[in-house]
Amino acid sequence: MSLFKLRILKKDSKGKGIYVPNFMSVIQHICLPCTGMSVIRETGKALRLSERDIEPALATMHRFGNQSSSSLWYELAYLEAKQRVKKGDTVWLLGMGSGPKCTSVLLKSVTPLSGEPNNAPWADCIQHYPLLIH
């Protein structure tokens, strides 16, 4: 019954809503697993992320599809190509596996980025993103 309350009713046993920390108060960027557009959107909703926060995951899913764990690196390259990562910014790479498996790593930018090299994965199309992806 507790799982039902948490999952369906979104309330704990005392009738209170589930506490979700404001992750974006301590990190500047997030890279989500690219397992599907609806999964990305639902994960973003559950973590209370903005459209801009989930944009790298949606763009990566659109351009490359589900590339398993390597999708996170395509998302990081997207952030770099858009020149969003500044010196001192923290990027959270969140990985999810089968069942209850979850792995994450925090990366801190130690140098400012000066643009994307010509052979990077987004070099030929970054100007076309973000798309209106639903």
**HEC letters along 34-81:** CCCHHHHHHHHHHCCCCHHHHHHHHHHHHHHCCCHHHHHHHHHHHHHH
Return the CATH fold of 36-113: Peroxisomal Thiolase; Chain A, domain 1 (3.40.47)
Question: Given this model, what pLDDT does residue 1 score?
Answer: 44
Tens of pLDDT along 88-100? Answer: 999 999 988 777 7
Spans in the chain with pLDDT lower than 50? 1
Expressed in percent and rounded to 5, the helix, strand and coil fractions of the chain are 40, 15, 45
Question: Given this model, what pLDDT does residue 118 score?
Answer: 73
Task: Map out the domains of the chain as residue ranges.
Answer: 36-113
Nearest Cα residue to 35 out of 66, 76, 69, 79 = 66
